[in-house]
């Protein structure tokens, strides 16, 4: 069987879907990864896995059906050339335009993997956000209409899609434990005795980094020996964080550090992982932290709430609530509690988020033996 996996960012094929692609190859299937060109080139790593890499021109940013119209025809042409038996697409543009192109090209089966609803669905207040919400809703509805099945990473997202009229009632649906986590690669490490808090995230408001920074600065004033780190790339646009705000966070004692290719050293040096996101599919960074044995503080929001058993492996707080976030983080200043909850995180990761179990759900759903 020839399986094509379509993404909007080439590195995600190896970082987020590497284990899935490897399992497809191990089962004897011909596997193609398709995504826009990226530096460094993802091709060599995919080739070493036995996966053919096919670059496709695609703009990652913005939702404009008119300017993206050419993408449909580029995808159609590639699908006709490659002739896959199955296409699996994830993120909005591959799902929407990939589904239409697959129907035009006569691809036998097309599956949509909804990895999170993103910026357009986190808030709907304001004229611009309402326009974006309605556009994204219409695009997803079109893509799912041409899909043979949809995979979601948490149970809230398919319920929401049904509520807003996006998900056809007859479409087969499955829910996975996020993208899963490699329990061996993110192995358990001993947390430091000194309290050390970590957030790994793109610097976007919807990820809750403002709330994290404010809570961290408050706590740093009372616990000067505690460490607070925010690691990730700065993003521009309406949801990004400006330079002046970042400077004020640093002045308050928060370490703001650039993105890294390997988060494990940061996790090793943290006792608690924090992600106060407004909405997620299932946050991969939280799964990685859980796998390494770290207590978690996150929000009672779709996707995030799947990762915490309240008071067992961490705490959930309301979205946008800095006071509640600060209080939850302060409890985990206690190293004994942080260590105990970290051990419970690892147990939950093994039970619910093992990547081999998640990939089995995906492959079985698509009928891939």
The answer on pLDDT for 124 being more than 60 is no
The answer on pLDDT for 37 being more than 80 is yes
For residues 79 and 118, membership in a common domain is answered with yes
For residues 360 and 345, membership in a common domain is answered with no
For residues 157 and 271, membership in a common domain is answered with no
Q: Answer whether residue 105 is part of any domain.
A: yes
For residues 22 and 146, membership in a common domain is answered with yes
**Is the CB of residue 276 less than 8 Å from the CB of residue 264?**
no
Residue-by-residue DSSP string for 315-332: EEE-TT-HHHHHHHHHHT
pLDDT of res. 132: 77
Q: Which long-range contacts (CB under 8 A, 24 or more apart) does 72-81 make?
A: 72/97, 72/100, 72/101, 72/104, 73/101, 75/6, 75/101, 75/102, 75/105, 76/101, 76/104, 76/105, 78/34, 78/54, 79/4, 79/105, 79/107, 80/105, 80/106
Quote the CA–CA distance of 185 and 43 in Å, as a whole number: 22
For residues 72 and 176, membership in a common domain is answered with yes
pLDDT of res. 337: 98
For residues 229 and 125, membership in a common domain is answered with no
**Is the CB of residue 193 less than 8 Å from the CB of residue 335?**
yes
**Is the CB of residue 107 less than 8 Å from the CB of residue 87?**
yes
For residues 93 and 223, membership in a common domain is answered with no
For residues 85 and 234, membership in a common domain is answered with no
Q: Answer whether residue 189 is part of any domain.
A: no
For residues 230 and 123, membership in a common domain is answered with no
Least confident of 37-41, 73-77, 109-113: 37-41
Q: Answer whether residue 268 is part of any domain.
A: yes
Q: Answer whether residue 341 is part of any domain.
A: yes
Q: What is the pTM of this model?
A: 0.88
Number of domains into which the chain is organized: 2
For residues 278 and 156, membership in a common domain is answered with no
Domain residues for the domain of 53 are: 2-180+354-366
The answer on pLDDT for 78 being more than 60 is yes
pLDDT of res. 268: 97
Quote the CA–CA distance of 35 and 45 in Å, as a whole number: 14
For residues 164 and 17, membership in a common domain is answered with yes
The answer on pLDDT for 206 being more than 80 is yes
SS in 3 state form for 245-268? Answer: HHHHHHHCCCEEECCCCCCHHHHH
Q: Answer whether residue 277 is part of any domain.
A: yes
The answer on pLDDT for 250 being more than 70 is yes
Q: Answer whether residue 133 is part of any domain.
A: yes
Average pLDDT over residues 27-53: 95
**Is the CA virtual torsion 334, 335, 337, 338 positive or negative?**
positive
Least confident of 83-92, 192-201, 237-246, 331-340: 237-246
For residues 271 and 344, membership in a common domain is answered with yes
pLDDT of res. 127: 66
Q: Answer whether residue 185 is part of any domain.
A: no
Quote the CA–CA distance of 49 and 309 in Å, as a whole number: 36
CATH number, domain containing residue 300: 3.40.50.2000
Q: Answer whether residue 131 is part of any domain.
A: yes
The answer on pLDDT for 130 being more than 80 is no
Mean pLDDT of the chain: 93
């Amino acid at each position: 069987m020839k399986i094509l996996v379509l993404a909007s960012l080439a590195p995600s094929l190896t970082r987020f879907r590497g284990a899935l692609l490897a399992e497809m190859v191990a089962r004897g299937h011909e596997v193609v990864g398709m995504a826009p060109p990226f530096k460094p080139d993802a091709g060599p790593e995919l080739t070493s896995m036995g996966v053919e890499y096919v670059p496709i021109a695609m703009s990652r940013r913005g939702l404009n059906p008119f300017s993206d119209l050419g993408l449909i025809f580029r995808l159609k042409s590639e699908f006709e050339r490659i002739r896959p038996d199955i296409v699996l697409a994830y993120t909005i543009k591959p799902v929407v335009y990939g589904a239409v192109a697959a129907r035009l090209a006569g691809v036998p089966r097309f599956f949509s993997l909804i990895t999170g609803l993103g910026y357009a669905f986190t808030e709907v207040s304001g004229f611009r956000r309402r326009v974006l919400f309605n556009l994204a809703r219409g695009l997803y509805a079109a893509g799912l209409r041409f899909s043979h099945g949809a995979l979601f990473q948490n149970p809230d997202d398919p319920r929401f899609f049904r509520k807003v009229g996006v998900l056809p009632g007859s479409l087969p649906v499955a829910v996975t434990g996020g993208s899963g986590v490699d329990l061996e690669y993110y192995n358990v490490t001993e947390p430091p005795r000194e309290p050390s808090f970590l957030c790994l995230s793109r610097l976007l408001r919807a990820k809750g980094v403002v709330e994290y920074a404010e809570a961290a600065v408050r706590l740093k004033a009372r616990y000067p020996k505690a460490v607070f780190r925010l690691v990730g790339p700065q993003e521009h646009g309406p949801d990004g964080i400006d330079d002046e705000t970042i400077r004020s966070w640093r002045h308050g004692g928060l370490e703001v550090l650039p993105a890294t290719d390997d988060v494990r050293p940061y996790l090793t040096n943290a006792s608690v992982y924090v992600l106060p996101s407004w909405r997620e599919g299932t946050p991969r960074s939280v799964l990685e932290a859980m796998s390494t044995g770290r207590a978690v503080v996150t929000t009672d929001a779709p996707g995030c709430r799947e990762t915490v058993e309240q008071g067992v492996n961490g705490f959930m707080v309301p979205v946008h609530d800095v006071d509640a976030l600060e209080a939850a983080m302060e409890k985990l200043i206690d190293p004994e509690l942080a260590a105990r909850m970290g051990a419970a995180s690892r147990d939950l990761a093994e039970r619910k988020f093992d990547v081999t179990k998640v990939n089995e759900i995906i492959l079985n759903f698509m009928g891939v033996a």
